[in-house]
């Protein structure tokens, strides 16, 4: 100020003493400034961070660090600068020449309004906000990092009464937890921010915590369910603290190998909700148990449950509108206050004891449009897939598109799958519509699970994108046969042959679905019907003979076969190909058809058991031993193939005629053979339906729309 005063004094002196013609000097304009100090907590561990500081609309300048300081036990990097009063500034931190946005693919600009007084602000690299000094009191180093960061949500410690709460909500300035144990809003408990700025957390001692209700309060008053809730009172109710304790009895269960899998896709409610099911717990988890005998008699060894995570339940849903990924759907249980957890475990335990593996269909590509708590917590982070700062222009045809490439979304997928494997003994997962996910990120989640010891579980992607399928195939060939594609290549090819007289690439479909680039049987799921398409009898009004032909083919080709529930007894299900057929009335299983079409159930069951008892039919190699073609008129959809000479195995000849006229096949394998399928009936074990003797060479005529299967009387 002294120097400024002197300059002003000289200016006045010149003006007063100027002679004729002297031009007065312009007055000096000085913009008032205020000192600015920024304390930066380097949550991302940038190397030698510096700060870029700029006034809105003007060029920026780099500010170098003036050292570090310790505040509340944390080391902050200090940046000192000045700013013009009554202006708005922006700032970013960078490592070398790379800004945060470049490093982490996140919006990283902070906005700093400048008034007339000195400013001190705190910045944490992860959450991209500027905090007042009060936030330092909220920074806390958790006494048990694993209970806070490894698994978010509410988790009971080993002592049985300490409950750790944590939530990823870095863009809120404060967080609290409230529940029955805090008299709800009467005395909610403040949560602390972890030093990396990611998670709010606290621990509370609660007597008998299992089943206690709670919610988070974010910011000044945003009440929300816990996105990591392990159980919820329906999708819109309170979250529940859940104990992981359960007395499992499935210790003797051996998971089928990938090559042995025969999958049965099931909707839990539809499976038993019809009065004809005859079960007590109709439409529930425990209702499935009352049908275990039917499932074991059918012969399948894995069930793929349509999404069982909590969804907005207006009475009915297919489950592809997930609200809470970790919480079992309450509507499938006898009560919504914790029974959903216990009864889901009881169902899985009983299925394992019956020799049946459990696969969960999980929906990570999008979420429910209502009761969407990830959106509440941070809609930009979780849903800005294209990273333009606006999550409202990122969507699928079914709901908000998840930004699956972001670290916390990958963490959610990893944590969710691992949780169900650890706590519920789930054997595998089918990921819905992976073409709407970042494929590299999704594959990396599977890779991380495999590396952590979850290598013999099943991972199935619903994938229709060629580039994605190539990435899956590359991963399998480089790492092992871990991921199968639930693509539509096999389905479409068989449909064309069955219903459109256009057999096309049936041969490729029979050999690893080679037209899709797959090289082993476990890399591809072979199915002709699913929840989307409906059953063959419903979607295509298929006659029983055509359904039998389709199953004779599917159970003897190289792939992982899947049956859509009720297809085996001509259930009339239309999928989503016909508008208005996704409601409950058009989806429930009419079990009277299992009696009416008992011959079809017996036929499908025999073929499943024939496949499983003869490993030659489910080889998982690039070039199956003993395989070759016996083709009469491939272009007409008349295909024949065989497995001959495999040590320790019986030989097989399969003649499948999809053509509209009978076809003749030349067979040159003399000896005694058992007919295992004649197009009408099937058998699972020797001596089959009939015994035949082939000379050195013989011609076999197969009627239109019929499959014959022969098995050798001797073992190689």
The helix or strand, by DSSP H or E, that contains position 499, with its residue range, turns out to be helix 489-499
The helix or strand, by DSSP H or E, that contains position 673, with its residue range, turns out to be strand 671-677
Alpha carbon distance 660, 702 (integer Å): 11
Alpha carbon distance 511, 507 (integer Å): 7
pLDDT at 24 (0 to 100): 54
pLDDT band at 104 (very low <50, low <70, confident <90, very high): low
What's the whole-number mean pLDDT along residues 182-204?
94
- pLDDT over threshold 80, residue 461: yes
pLDDT band at 258 (very low <50, low <70, confident <90, very high): very high
Are 477 and 502 contacting, i.e. CB atoms less than 8 angstroms apart?
A: no
- pLDDT over threshold 90, residue 469: yes
pLDDT at 12 (0 to 100): 33
Alpha carbon distance 414, 433 (integer Å): 17
C-beta neighbour count of 483 within 10 angstroms = 26
pLDDT at 107 (0 to 100): 62
User: What are 16-54's pLDDT values in tens digits?
Assistant: 334 444 555 555 667 899 999 999 988 777 888 899 899
Per domain, the residue ranges of the chain are 1-28, 33-137, 140-224, 369-401, 627-715
Whole-number mean pLDDT of the chain? 92
Alpha carbon distance 133, 438 (integer Å): 39
pLDDT at 133 (0 to 100): 86
Instruction: Among 253-262, 278-287, 574-583, name the one with the lowest average pLDDT.
Output: 574-583
* Token duo for residue 288: 């499935």
* Token duo for residue 501: 């007289």
Are 79 and 51 contacting, i.e. CB atoms less than 8 angstroms apart?
A: yes
pLDDT-above-90 percentage for the chain: 78
Instruction: Among 74-78, 673-677, 684-688, name the one with the lowest average pLDDT.
Output: 74-78
DSSP-assigned beta bridge partners for residue 156: 163
Fold of 140-224: Immunoglobulin-like (2.60.40)
Domain at 627-715: CATH code: 2.60.40.1180
Considering just the CA atoms, what is the radius of gyration of the chain in Å?
A: 33
C-beta neighbour count of 704 within 10 angstroms = 16
DSSP-assigned beta bridge partners for residue 124: 41
User: What are 32-41's pLDDT values in tens digits?
Assistant: 999 999 999 8
Cis, bond preceding 687 (omega within 30 deg of 0): yes
33-137 and 140-224 in the same fold: yes
pLDDT at 105 (0 to 100): 61
Antiparallel, parallel or unpaired: β 638-643 and 650-657: antiparallel
Question: CB-based burial of residue 673 (10 Å sphere; 0-12 exposed, 13-18 middle, 19+ buried)?
Answer: buried
pLDDT at 26 (0 to 100): 58
Residues in Cβ contact with 285 at an 8 Å cutoff, skipping those fewer than 6 apart? 268, 328, 332, 333, 340, 343, 344, 346, 347
Q: Which residue has the tokens 């005859």?
A: 278
Residues in Cβ contact with 634 at an 8 Å cutoff, skipping those fewer than 6 apart? 503, 506, 507
CA end-to-end span of the chain: 104
CA-to-CA separations, 481 to 257, 478, 486, 615, in angstroms, rounded: 11, 9, 14, 17
- pLDDT over threshold 70, residue 234: yes
pLDDT band at 365 (very low <50, low <70, confident <90, very high): very high
Alpha carbon distance 309, 362 (integer Å): 8
Higher pLDDT, 337 or 515: 337
- Which pTM does this prediction carry? 0.92
Q: Which residue has the tokens 């059918």?
A: 298
Are 337 and 289 contacting, i.e. CB atoms less than 8 angstroms apart?
A: no
Higher pLDDT, 132 or 29: 132
pLDDT at 27 (0 to 100): 58
pLDDT at 13 (0 to 100): 33
Q: Please give the sequence-ordered ranges of beta strands (E in DSSP) within 520-668, or none if there are none.
A: 525-526, 560-564, 627-629, 638-643, 650-657, 663-667
User: What are 473-532's pLDDT values in tens digits?
Assistant: 999 999 999 999 998 889 999 999 999 888 777 888 888 887 778 899 999 999 999 999
Alpha carbon distance 16, 277 (integer Å): 108
User: What are 293-327's pLDDT values in tens digits?
Assistant: 999 999 999 999 999 999 998 779 999 999 999 99
Q: How many residues does the chain have?
A: 716
Specify the long-range contacts of residues 541-548, CB closer than 8 Å, at least 24 apart: 542/498, 542/499, 544/570, 544/597, 544/599, 544/600, 545/679, 545/680, 545/705, 545/706, 546/498, 546/499, 546/705, 547/600, 548/600, 548/603, 548/679, 548/680, 548/682, 548/707
Higher pLDDT, 125 or 227: 227
pLDDT band at 6 (very low <50, low <70, confident <90, very high): very low
CATH 2.60.40.1110 correct for 33-137: yes
What's the whole-number mean pLDDT along residues 686-712?
97
């Amino acid at each position: 100020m002294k120097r400024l005063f002197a300059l002003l004094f000289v200016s006045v002196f010149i003006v007063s003493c100027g002679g004729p013609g002297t031009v007065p000097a312009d007055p000096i304009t000085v913009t008032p400034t205020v000192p600015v100090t920024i304390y930066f907590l380097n949550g991302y561990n940038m190397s030698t961070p510096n700060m870029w500081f700029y006034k809105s609309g003007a060029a920026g300048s780099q500010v170098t660090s003036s050292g570090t300081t310790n505040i509340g036990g944390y080391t902050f990097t200090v940046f000192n600068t000045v700013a013009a009063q009554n202006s708005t500034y922006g700032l970013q931190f960078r490592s070398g020449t790379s800004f945060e946005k470049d490093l982490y693919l996140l919006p990283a600009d902070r906005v700093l309004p400048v008034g007339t007084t000195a400013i001190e602000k705190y910045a944490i690299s992860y959450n991209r906000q500027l905090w007042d000094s009060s936030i330092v009191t909220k920074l806390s180093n958790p006494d048990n990092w694993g209970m806070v960061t490894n698994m978010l949500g509410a988790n009971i410690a080993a002592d049985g009464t300490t409950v750790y709460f944590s939530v990823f909500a870095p863009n809120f300035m404060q967080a609290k937890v409230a529940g029955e144990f805090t008299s709800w809003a009467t005395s909610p408990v403040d949560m602390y921010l972890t030093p990396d700025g990611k998670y709010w957390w606290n621990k509370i001692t609660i007597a008998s915590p299992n089943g206690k209700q709670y919610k988070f309060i974010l910011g000044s008053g945003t009440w929300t369910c816990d996105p990591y809730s392990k159980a919820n009172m329906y999708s819109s109710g309170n979250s529940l603290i859940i104990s992981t304790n359960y007395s499992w009895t499935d210790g003797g269960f051996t998971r089928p190998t990938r090559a042995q899998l025969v999958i049965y896709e099931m909707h839990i409610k539809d499976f038993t909700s019809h009065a004809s099911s005859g079960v007590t717990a109709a439409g529930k988890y425990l209702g499935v148990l009352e049908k275990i005998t039917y499932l074991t008699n059918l012969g399948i060894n894995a069930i793929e449950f349509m999404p069982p995570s909590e969804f907005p339940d207006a009475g009915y849903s297919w489950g592809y509108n997930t609200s809470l990924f970790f919480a079992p759907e309450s509507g499938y249980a006898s009560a919504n206050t914790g029974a959903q957890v216990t009864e889901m475990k009881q169902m899985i335990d009983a299925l394992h004891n019956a020799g049946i593996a459990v696969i969960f269909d999980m929906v990570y590509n999008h979420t429910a449009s209502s009761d969407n708590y990830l959106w509440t917590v941070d809609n930009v982070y979780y849903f800005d897939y294209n990273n333009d700062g606006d999550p409202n222009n990122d969507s699928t045809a079914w709901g908000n598109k998840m930004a699956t490439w972001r670290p916390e979304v990958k963490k959610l997928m990893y944590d969710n799958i691992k949780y169900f494997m650890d706590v519920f003994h789930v054997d595998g997962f089918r990921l819905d519509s992976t073409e709407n996910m970042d494929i590299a990120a999704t594959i990396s989640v599977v890779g991380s699970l495999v590396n952590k010891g979850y290598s013999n579980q099943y991972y199935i992607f619903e994938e229709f994108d060629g580039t994605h399928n190539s990435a899956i195939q590359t991963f399998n060939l480089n790492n092992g046969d871990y991921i199968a594609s639930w693509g539509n290549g096999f389905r479409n090819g068989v449909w064309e042959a069955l219903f459109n007289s256009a057999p096309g690439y049936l041969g490729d479909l029979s050999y690893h679905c080679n037209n899709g680039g797959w090289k082993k049987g476990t890399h591809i799921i072979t199915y002709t019907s699913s929840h989307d398409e409906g059953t063959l009898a419903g979607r295509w009004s298929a006659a029983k003979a055509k359904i039998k032909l389709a199953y004779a083919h599917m159970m003897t080709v190289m792939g992982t076969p899947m049956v859509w529930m009720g297809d085996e007894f001509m259930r009339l299900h239309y999928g989503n190909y016909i508008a208005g057929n996704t409601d409950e009335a058009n989806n429930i299983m009419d079990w009277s058809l299992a009696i009416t079409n008992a011959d079809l159930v017996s036929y499908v069951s025999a073929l499943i058991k024939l496949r499983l008892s003869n490993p030659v039919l489910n080889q998982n190699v690039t070039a199956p031993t003993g395989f070759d073609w016996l083709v009469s008129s491939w272009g007409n959809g008349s295909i024949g193939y065989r497995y001959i000479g495999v040590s320790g195995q019986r030989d097989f000849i399969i003649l499948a005629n999809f053509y509209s006229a009978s076809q003749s096949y030349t067979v040159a394998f003399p000896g005694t053979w058992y007919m295992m399928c004649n197009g009408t009936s099937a058998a699972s074990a020797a001596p089959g339906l009939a015994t035949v003797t082939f000379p050195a060479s013989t011609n076999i005529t197969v009627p239109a729309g019929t499959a014959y299967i022969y098995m050798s009387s001797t073992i190689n």
